[in-house]
Amino acid sequence: MTARGGLAVGDVVYTSWGYDQTQVEFYEVVGLTPSGKSAKIVQVWAQDVASGDNMHRSLVPTTTHAEGAPVQTVLILDEHGTVKVDGHHAWKHRPGQQHYATGHGYGH
């Protein structure tokens, strides 16, 4: 089954947020509601694939669920599969896409 915005079970969405630093979090779609208007997601760990230095990170999602992470039901907001997770917009991750994040200990 495919939901609104083309989201399907197994897809990954990501948030990118922060002030004076950039945080990225990934969530796997683990279920869809019967209406296809909401998705059930669970956080997965990120992997740093291209650190040039300690200040910058380039992240991709892993397939490992974050230990103890709750399954959340989120509303699919538009035809692009955008959802809102803990107050942050999340977009559909494209395979091979890397996401910039600030390294640990930098920023605030």
pTM: 0.89
Q: How far apart are CA 66 and CA 84, in angstroms?
A: 19
pLDDT at residue number 89 = 94
Kindly report the backbone phi and psi dihedral angles of residue 4, in degrees, each rounded to the nearest multiple of 5, phi listed first.
-50, 140
Beta strands in the chain (DSSP E): 12-17, 23-32, 38-48, 56-65, 72-75, 83-85, 88-92, 99-102
Query: pLDDT of 12-41, one tens digit each?
Result: 999 998 877 888 999 999 999 999 999 999
Q: What is the largest CA-CA distance in the chain?
A: 45
Query: pLDDT of 34-78, one tens digit each?
Result: 999 999 999 999 998 876 666 778 899 999 998 899 999 999 999
Query: pLDDT of 76-98, one tens digit each?
Result: 999 888 999 999 999 999 998 99
